Amino acid sequence: MSHVMNTYARLPVAFSHGKGSRIVDTEGREYLDALSGIAVNTLGHAHSRLVEAIAAQAGSLLHTSNLYRVTGQEVLADKLAALSGLQEIFFCNSGCEANEAAIKLARYYGHKKGIETPTIIVMEKAFHGRTMATLSATGNRKAQAGFEPLVAGFVRVPYDDIEAIRSVAEHHANIVAVMLEIVQGEGGINLASEQFQRELRALCDEREWLMICDEVQCGMARTGTWFGYQHAGILPDIATLAKGLGSGVPIGACLAGGRAAGLFGPGNHGSTFGGNPLACTAALTTIDTIERDGLMAAAERVGARIRSGIAAALVGVAGIVDIRGQGLMIGIELDRPCSELITKALAAGLLINVTADKVVRLLPPLVFTESEADELVQRLAPLIKEFLGG
């Protein structure tokens, strides 16, 4: 560890292997994984179909570069287009790269309209990544501090506030796009109302802006639909994916349609590793398994069971502010900072996370069962009660 750059506050545990929703540390102790690598391990650990598919692909071809056609990439693009309603897909390696592509698309769109300083409306408490552009779009001053000057071209408004966006529209002639997470993950599991989403879609149409949905954490069936925006029956111009797309194999995607389709040409953007045969095999197997095993409906059903179970177990407990979420994206907001719950849960054999200082964040894999949901409630609720009582 001494030569690894000190960019993470790591917990004192290392894992050796896992299966499904269980993971085992190097000392042989088993944990129930309610975090799934921060919404990455869609199929849990060591899923047999994914392991076999990756191994087979590794045995034939890992990488060729985007200098050539990549068959799996074309198949995956067709699949994502059908699932999302968007027409064309750019593949990269991560969520911040996908969002970087979305920001570039929006700026390019603006310049094509003759706007010299295209500006994007972004939201408070948003998290879009840690590259300089995505960090600048992020609504978390703590994450930005020390890295100024930030990239210009963003105007920030309160989340889920259509009137604030209308007000910005009246005072900024250079707006070209609005960027939001349908469910804010890092910001504390905050949900944009469906009415807000529909009104924003209408406003973007009225103003000829691009609507960008960052689905990096809430996409890939985690909320009970393939994409979070599908709950509101809308279609953005751009959507971004990563985390759960490859169920542990790094891959990101920027999807474009409507006014955003057909903008980029050769040389406008690129990625060396993006969408290579191994990553595309992982993504296609993940999607196929979600469909085959009904994991999208399971996410909605099991997530609702966790939320109702936690609510019942913590009813009347002082210090509980809210229990919210959608599908397997769940937040339990307390009235005080609660990061010490992470280590308490670890000691109790649970992997959880705390975000926005006061929100316990649960992101179990989509293979989480109903009995594991009950086990999670039975093991986590007493820890929260003890913490608030202490």
User: What does the block give as tokens for 133?
Assistant: 């552009």
**pLDDT of 302 above 80:** yes
Could you tell me the pTM of the whole model? 0.97
User: What does the block give as tokens for 197?
Assistant: 């989403």
- Report pLDDT digits (tens) over 112-145: 999 999 999 999 999 999 999 999 999 989 999 9
Average of per-residue pLDDT values in the chain:
97
Mean local confidence (pLDDT), 292-316? 98
What pLDDT is attached to residue 390? 56
**pLDDT of 64 above 80:** yes
* C-alpha dist (Å) from residue 11 to 8, 15, 343, 352: 9, 11, 8, 12
**pLDDT of 1 above 70:** no
* Confidence at 282, pLDDT banded by 50, 70, 90: very high
- Which of helix, strand or coil describes residue 219? coil
* Confidence at 2, pLDDT banded by 50, 70, 90: confident
What pLDDT is attached to residue 355? 97
- Report pLDDT digits (tens) over 44-56: 999 999 999 999 9
Q: Which residues pair with 360 in a beta bridge?
A: 332, 354
- Report pLDDT digits (tens) over 100-118: 999 999 999 999 999 999 9
